[in-house]
Amino acid sequence: MDSATQKINHRMFPKVSVLTTVYNREKYLEDCIKSVLNSTYQNWEMIIVDDQSHDRSVEIAQNYAQIDKRIKVFINEVNLGDYPNRNKAASLAKGQYLKYLDADDIIYPNGLEIMVDSMDSFPSAALGISQKVVEDVKPYPFLLSPKESYYREFVMRGVMGAPPTNTIIRKDIFEALGGFTGERYVGDTEFWFRIAQQHDILKIVPDLVFWREHENQEYKKGMVTNSYLVNNYRIVMQMLGSDLCPLEENERRLAINKYNHRLSRDLIRLLINQKSIIKVNQIRKSCNRSWLEVLKSAF
């Protein structure tokens, strides 16, 4: 293939699609876009999908789209919400890999290069996660089989609790599994669980992105209302009860017991700290646990 053809393919077929969904993020969006422009890896497209923002987000995005044609801006006719908008962005992507980069986050200059190279080196990996956890005791990158991922996630201290900004996904797997279901607050983690049921997960070098914490995050809202606790527990029980769960039966029972113990401790902690039996009772009922089961599992 001559150099002219390579350049044409480079423009027409980006290796990785950076997906940035936006809703009122004028405060952070410019830094997000600049971080992609400053990447050492350059075979990318950046798809920005605005979800009916009321601030200058669209103006900022369009200004950068005029500077670099790899940046493409789309504006939803109606507000879709978090996960439906992520699916919309993925549907517009041309890359082999999907790299979510939330509008309030940034990726470090070598982030795209390391993520793409790592996924290329392990073609069986469906999802790459750039996040360090205690159990990562061998050099990155390394593969986890479905059973290994599930055991570490549900029996040990977790391996799939990363937000979308910390991940890179094979587009064909994303499409085959139908993308995000839209489960509020935990839709990303739920999707990682579904991927890991049948596919290898790749642990990638950590600290490739900067995940910004602020009060307007959906995650923060879920933590304040305790909705995150309820939704996460329900999703975990669904995954452990699924016929696709790759754990052995004794491992599955152990994982269920551990999560019931964790829920019980959380409920007792909330009761002590917030002194609201009504709120705790609502959470308990939403998780379909009796007070007797809570007390038995807590100790």
User: In the chain, what are the domain boundaries?
Assistant: 3-211, 219-298
Question: Is residue 29 a contact partner of residue 103, using CB atoms and an 8 Å limit?
Answer: yes
Q: Is the pLDDT of residue 104 over 80?
A: yes
pLDDT number for residue 84: 96
pLDDT band at 3; cut points 50, 70, 90: very low
How does the average pLDDT of the chain come out, rounded? 91
Q: Which two tokens stand for residue 83?
A: 């996960």
Proportion of the chain above pLDDT 90, given as a percent = 76
Q: Is the pLDDT of residue 223 over 50?
A: no
pLDDT number for residue 225: 53
Q: Which range has the worst mean pLDDT, 110-124, 178-192, 237-251?
A: 178-192
| pTM for this prediction | 0.90
Nearest to 245 by CA among 199, 197, 200, 201: 197
Hey, what amino acid is at 190? E
H-assigned helices in 165-226: 171-176, 187-198, 218-225
The predicted-structure confidence for 122-174, as pLDDT tens digits, reads as follows: 999 999 999 999 889 999 999 999 999 999 999 998 899 899 999 999 999 99
Q: Which of 105-114, 216-225, 290-299 has the highest mean pLDDT?
A: 105-114
Proportion of the chain above pLDDT 70, given as a percent = 92
The predicted-structure confidence for 234-278, as pLDDT tens digits, reads as follows: 999 999 999 999 999 999 999 999 999 999 999 998 888 877 788
pLDDT band at 226; cut points 50, 70, 90: confident
Nearest to 183 by CA among 81, 38, 115: 81
Residue whose tokens read 């400053």: 38
According to CATH, the topology of domain 3-211 is: Spore Coat Polysaccharide Biosynthesis Protein SpsA; Chain A (3.90.550)
What is the arithmetic mean of pLDDT over 206-216? 82
Q: Is the peptide bond prior to 206 cis by the omega test (within 30 degrees of 0)?
A: no
pLDDT number for residue 42: 97
pLDDT number for residue 6: 41
pLDDT number for residue 49: 98
Q: Is the pLDDT of residue 62 over 70?
A: yes
What is the arithmetic mean of pLDDT over 187-196? 96
